Chain A
Amino acid sequence: MNIVDLISFRGGIAFLERKGYRTYPTTYKELKQRMLKTETYLIKNKVKKGDRVLIQATNCVDYVVLMLACLRLGVVVVPLDFHTSKQLRKKIIKETEPKLVFTNLDSLEKLTKDLKQNKSVPAISKDDVAEIIYTSGTTGVPKGVVLTHGNICSNVESLKKGFRLKLRHISVLPLSHMMEQCSGLFLPLSNNSLILYPNSLRYSDIIDLIKYKKINVMTAVPGILEGLKKAVELREKPLHKLLGWQFMVVGVGGASLPKELEDWWRKRVLLLQGYGLTETSPLITTNLPFKKRKYSTGKPLKNVKIRIKDDEIQVKGPNVMREYYKKPEKTKEVFEDGWFKTGDLGEIKKGFLYLRGRTKDIIVTRAGLNVYPQDVEDELNRYVKESCVIEKNNNIHAVLSMEKGDPKKIIEEVNKRLEQYQKIASWNVWGGEFPKTPTGKIKRYEVKKKVKHTLFKHKSPLDTLLASSLKTHIKKNVPLTSLGMDSLKRMEILALIEEKYGVELNEKVLGEKTTPKELENWIKKRKNVSYYDFGLPKLNLIGKTLASLITHIFCRIDGNKTAFQGIIVANHTSALDVHVLTSCIKTKYAVAAIPHLFGMVIKNTYYKIISFLIKHFFNAYPFGYGVGFESSLRFTAHLLDEGFSIIIFPEGERTRDGKIQSFKEGIGLLAVNMDAEILPVKTEGLFRVLPYYRRFPRFGKVRVKIGKPFRLGKISYFKAAKLIEKKVKSL
C-alpha cells in the first residue's frame, strides 16, 4: 500500500504553477514522467527504502515531483516549513540524518531531465514510514511525527468517499502542513483534479487567480478566511462577483473557527469544517457535503473512533501516528490505553463533534503554523518581569509587564532569536499586574479582551490599516508624514491598500500633506475602476467582419503571412491598424488600449458608446495606470495564458504627422514581466488611407513589415522600451 498508488495519473492538467505573472501547466503525464526520472536520480544518489530526504521549499510542482518519487521508493520524506531557521534545520538534520537535503528545487528539473524513467519499485506495506513531520512544541524542541503510508492512505481514502468530483483547487497552505498534503494534494490528485500553486498570498492575487483560473475549492485555516472576508468586504462587491460563481467549496481546519466567521462563509459557499492534528494525519472528524452540522467539526472518518475523557478528545484509528521520532518518552505521554490524547476539549452530540476550546493555548498563523505562546514568553521573560503572548489580527502580539528598559529594543532582540513564524509583530506595555488564576497562571483570555479594546482601536478599516503600518494612533486630519510616513513606508501603505481594497493609487496621492481623510476619499473615488466586470475579450463576428471588410476594401495589403502567439508591438498610424495587422498575423488577439477609452475613469454616455465600440470592433481591453498597472499586468498575463496574443501600440495615441513617436515605458513594464515572445511590426501607408484627422478612409497600398520575434531578459523598463522602439523603427 503506497500513497502514490492512489493516484492514477490520468486526466489532463494536474498543476497550474504561477511564476511571475504567468501561469504554467503540468499535465498528469508530465508529472508521472518527471516523478519516474526523479526516482532514477534518487537511486543514483544511493537513496533507498527507509532513508530520509529533507525538503524545505515553497509549494511548487518540483516539490510534489520529489515527494511522490520519494514516497514511491519508500523513502521517508521530512518536509520542513520554508521559513524554518538554519539552526532549527540543523537540529532536525542531526536527528533524522537525511541522505539528501533539498533547500532549493530550482535545479531539480535540469538534474533529472536526461535521466531514464525508473521501472522497479520496492514493495511498500501500510506500516512503512512515509513521512516525519515536525511540529513545534512548548519545550522549544520540535517533535517529529512519524506517519506511515497506511496512516495517510486511510485519511485520503475516507475523504475520497465524500469528494469524488474532478475539481480545480487552489493551494494556499504550505505542503509541510499535513492538512494541505491530505486535502490539498493527495485528495485532488487521486480525483484527477487540478491544483493551482500561487506565488503570493496577497489577497488581491488570490482573488484574481480564483476568478481567472476558475477555481472551485480552497482548503484554508481560519486566519486566511478572515483576511479574505475583510478583503471582499472592503471591495464592496458580492463574493461571487469577485471570485466567480464556480468558487463553491471551502475546507477549513487547523484552528478553531469563530462562529461569526463561519456564518459569513456558510451563507456564500459550501463550508466544510474539519478537525485534526498532524499526529492524526491529520483529519479525525470532518463535515461532508451531505452530512454537516452548523458549528460542528463533523463526524469521525471511517474506522476512526473518538471518545471524550475528562472533556478531552481522544482518538483511536488507522490515522493515528506511530510515534514521535526518537522520543519514546513523549510518545508515552500522549497515549492512554491505546488512545491518542489530543489535548483539545470537546463534546459529541448525535455523532457530531463540537470543539470546546483547547487545553493548549496555540496561536495558528495565516500560514497554518502553530505558535506556542509559552515559547515566545520564555524568550521575553529573560528581559521583562512578565509577559503574555496573544494573537491579534492573525499576528503575534506581546504584552509586557516591565519596570525598566526599552520595550522596542527588547522586542528587536527577542525577534532575532525567534523562528520566522514566531516573530512578534506588535506589542504594548501592561500597567501593573496581569490578571491571574489562583494557581498563578496569567488569564490570557482577559488580557486579550482588554488589549483588543484599548489598542489602536479605530472605527474605519483604513485607519486600522494605517495604524498597523505606522505603529501609531491615527488622527483623521493630521498629515501622514507627521505620523511617521517616509518614502519607503509610503510604498508599503500603497501595497497594503492594493491588497486590502483592490485599489491601486499613484504614489503622488500620498503627498507631504495628505491626511487619512483625503486618502479615504481617493480610495472611494478609485474603487469602481477595476476588471471585476470585464470578461475575456470575445470576438464579435459582426464587428470583426465589418471592420475587416472596410480594411480590405480600402487597403491593398502587402506583407508576409505568419502565425504567432505573444506580444505584438506596432506603430499606431490609424484606426485600421488592428485589422491590417491581424490580416497578416494569424492569431487569437486582444488589444491593450488606454483605460479612459473604456469610461472607467469618466463615466458618461459618450464614453459608454466608445467603450462598447472599441471593445467589440477591436477586441480591446484596458491597460495602464487608469485601471492600475498591477491589475493590468495580471489581466494581460491571464490573456496570454489563455492563448491570446496582445497587440499594443506603445506610442499611446495615433501619429499626427505620420512619424513614429517615442514609446511609452508601459511597454517595457509589460514586455519584461510577461515572459512572452515579442514581435515587432511596422505598418506603412496607413497614414494615407485613414490618418488621425480623417473620418472616412481613402484607397491605398499598405505594407506590413514583420520583424523577428525576440525575448527580453531582466533589464530596466525604460531600457526595454527603448530597445523595442529601436526594433520597430529599424524595420
Chain B
Amino acid sequence: MKIGADIVHISRFQNIDDFSLKKIFHPSELENKDPLHLAGVFAAKECCRKIFPNSNWLDFEIKKQRNGKPAIHTKNDFKGDLSISHDNEYAIAVVIVE
C-alpha cells in the first residue's frame, strides 16, 4: 500500500495563465475554473504523482462520481481512494493506492 498527501494555497490558482492550466488539467477538469476546485484537483494529482514518480499530470483525471465524491481515473485500472478537503486558504488531498 502506498500513500500520497499534498497541500496547496488556493490563491495560487487565482491568476494562473491558461497555458499552465492546460498542461496540468484535462478539459473535463477545466470546465469549472473556480480556484477552489482547481486547487483541490491539483492537490489530488500531486498526491498521485508522489505515489507514481515517473507519471505526468495528464496521466490522472480527477472526476466527481454521482454521489459527489471525487475519484481518480487513469489509463489503466486504478485501485485506490482519494479524499479532498478545503479550509479558508488551503486545499488538501490524500490518496491511498493498494
* Chain A residues packing against B (C-beta within 8 Å): 200, 202, 487-488, 491-492, 494-495, 498-499, 507, 630, 665, 672-673, 714-719, 722
Contacts and interface: CB of A to CB of B under 8 A. Distances in A.
Contact of B31 (A499, A672, A714): A714
Contact of B27 (A491, A495, A665, A672): A672
Interface in B28-76: 28-31, 42, 46, 49, 56-59, 61, 73-75
A501 to B, nearest CB: 13
Nearest to A412: B11
A571 to B, nearest CB: 20
B17 A495 contact: yes
B3 interface: no
27 contacts: A200-B18, A202-B19, A487-B49, A488-B24, A491-B23, A491-B24, A492-B20, A495-B19, A495-B20, A495-B23, A507-B56, A630-B19, A665-B58, A665-B75, A714-B31, A715-B27, A715-B28, A716-B26, A716-B27, A716-B28, A716-B61, A717-B26, A717-B58, A718-B58, A718-B59, A718-B75, A722-B75
B2 interface: no
B8 interface: yes
A719 B16 contact: no
A491 B20 contact: yes
A498 B12 contact: no
Contact of A492 (B16, B29, B42): B16
Contacts of B42: 488
A488 B19 contact: no
A502 B15 CA distance: 22
Contact of A718 (B18, B46, B61): B61
B54 to A, nearest CB: 9
A contacts with B: majority SS: helix
A218 B17 CA distance: 23
A500 to B, nearest CB: 12
Contacts of A718: 58-59, 61, 74-75
B60 to A, nearest CB: 9
B18 A488 contact: no
Q: Which 9 A-B pairs have the closest CB atoms?
A: A716-B61, A714-B27, A716-B26, A718-B75, A495-B19, A495-B20, A491-B20, A714-B28, A492-B20
Contacts of B16: 488, 492
Nearest to B59: A718
A487 B19 CA distance: 15
Contacts of B23: 491, 494-495, 507
Contacts of A492: 16-17, 20
B12 A488 contact: yes
Contacts of B31: 714
B58 A499 contact: no
A487 B17 CA distance: 15
A715 B16 CA distance: 22
Contacts of A495: 17, 19-20, 23
Nearest to B11: A412
A492 to B, nearest CB: 5
A719 B61 CA distance: 10
Contacts of A714: 26-28, 30-31
Given A630-B19, A714-B27, 9 more contacts: A200-B18, A487-B46, A488-B16, A491-B23, A495-B19, A499-B19, A714-B31, A716-B29, A716-B61
A507 B55 CA distance: 11
Nearest to B18: A200
Given A715-B27, A716-B28, A202 B17 contact: yes
Nearest to B75: A718
A714 B57 CA distance: 17
A580 B37 CA distance: 48
A670 to B, nearest CB: 13
B15 to A, nearest CB: 8
A507 B42 CA distance: 16
Contacts of A673: 27
A524 to B, nearest CB: 22
Nearest to B13: A488
B45 to A, nearest CB: 9
A488 B24 CA distance: 9
A719 B73 contact: yes
Contacts of B28: 714-716
Contacts of A672: 27
Nearest to A633: B22
A495 B19 CA distance: 6
